[in-house]
Structure 1
Amino acid sequence: MGSVLGDLLPLAVGVAISPIPIIGAILMLLGKHARTTSIGFAIGWLGGIVIATTIFVLVGGAFGDSDSTVGAWIKLVLGVLLLAEGIREWRARGGEHSTPKWMAAIDEMKPLTALGLGFALAAINPKNLMMCIAAGVTIGAAALSAGSNIVLVIVFALLAATTVVIPVVAYQIAAQRLRDPLDRLKVWLEANNKTVMATLILVIGIVLIGKGISGLA
């Protein structure tokens, strides 16, 4: 199980450092309904990671014992897709980028809507979904016990969700102290999110390509 956990760590970091959900969480924490919407968003984000990863644990488990090359091919394809996306993001990092409509609507957002948004960003957004797919396939193809699979999914999801969940929990405890640091972090992420995401995706893409090639060798 330890080797599988090691393979999951870069993928968890990749999901955790994704700037868009972090910016979304910060905007909610700075908005009118900070406490309720942020909790909904964090629950949706964590739940989306768990569900997306679990689905592909089952997919990986379907061929884990009989054909490990399938898992290697999935990692290779995901790695190539992430590499291509990372190159595209890197080239676009200096341009002007419009603010997503959902960010402009955060002040009026209700907790249930925020929950759905968090779930969508985790389980439907292509960049994060590819990393959840890779994590799920890695766990499932290892052919471990059901208990080990559950532990690995929980560990992966908690690590991947830390950058959204921890600020939300901290805000419930010390809201006033966090407003200025959150505002500064939001400004920095808005200015640098393309560079951060491009670098991250490129690294993870290369790692997955390496894992895929070694699995086919």
Structure 2
Amino acid sequence: MGEAIGQSLPVAVGVLLSPMPVVAVVLMLVTPRARADATAFLAGWVLGIAALGTVVVLVAGAAAGSGEPPTWVAVLKIVLGVLALLVAVAQWRGRPRGDAEPPVPGWMRAVDGFTPVRAFGLAVLLGAVNPKNLLLVASGAVAIATATDETGARAVALAVFVVVASVGVAAPLVVYLTAGARAAAVLGGLRTWLVRENAVVVATLMLVIGTKLLGDGIGAL
């Protein structure tokens, strides 16, 4: 169990630090349905990551079997590592330069009119369907499935992965519920910084995680 948690934890931290889901929650917390929308978003985020992680763990675990991981596991890690590095390069090249404003996704402009159901759906999309997050969650789940062949250990490791990966989304809601009048200023500053530095943050995360996956895969060959 310890090895499964240790192998997947860096990837979970990468999911935790993904800027766009945090920005989504912050935007919801300044709408009339702040608490309901943000809570629904957190639930959708947890469910999306847990569902995707479970599917990948089951498939990868069944394919890997027991004993020493087969060669395809190392190859898969290399492929995931290369994909992560390509995303890092694309994000870095697309970062805003000088005083240029980063493009704002359409869903951000529509957040004011969100219902809890739409907030839940957006969270599932960002958590389990968005290509950058899908790559990270799949990488973490593969690491769990290949680190141990015990079902209970895999379940616990995946639960830890989901909790850690959800801290970033939960944090703004906690601030909103506990910081009182100061919450608006804190969350507003966080939102501005995350939107501005999204590409740089994602590029850095993908570089670190891609390098780790690539090294793990090469080392296992």
Report if TM-score (shorter chain) is over 0.5.
Answer: yes
The alignment-based identity, stated in percent, is 42
Aligned-pair CA distance for 1:129 = 0.5
- More deviation, 119-128/92-101: 92-101
RMSD: 1.4
Correspondence 1:143-158 to 2 at 5 A:
143-158=148-163
Q: Which residue of 1 aligns with 2:138?
A: 133
TM-score by length of 1: 0.94
Confirm or deny: 8 A CA contact 2:49 2:137 kept in the other structure.
yes
- More deviation, 174-183/74-83: 174-183
Q: Which residue of 2 aligns with 1:90?
A: 92
User: What amino acid is the match of 1:69?
Assistant: T
User: What amino acid is the match of 1:53?
Assistant: G
User: What amino acid is the match of 2:53?
Assistant: T
Matches of 2:195 and 2:148, distance apart in 1: 41
Q: Which residue of 2 aligns with 1:117?
A: 122
- Deviation per CA, 1:28-63: give whole Å up to 9, x if none: 112221111001111111111111111110111112
Matches of 1:203 and 1:211, distance apart in 2: 12
- More deviation, 84-93/61-70: 61-70
User: What amino acid is the match of 2:189?
Assistant: R
Aligned-pair CA distance for 1:200 = 0.9
- More deviation, 45-54/138-147: 138-147
Matches of 1:157 and 1:202, distance apart in 2: 21
Matches of 1:92 and 1:184, distance apart in 2: 23
- Deviation per CA, 1:130-187: give whole Å up to 9, x if none: 1111111111123432211111111000000101013223423444331110001111
Matches of 2:164 and 2:27, distance apart in 1: 22
Q: Give ranges in structure 2 of 5+ residues lacking alignment.
A: none
Structure 1 residue 72 corresponds to structure 2 residue 74: yes
Structure 1 residue 106 corresponds to structure 2 residue 108: no
Correspondence 1:1-217 to 2 at 5 A:
1-65=1-65, 67-95=69-97, 96-216=101-221
Q: Give ranges in structure 1 of 5+ residues lacking alignment.
A: none
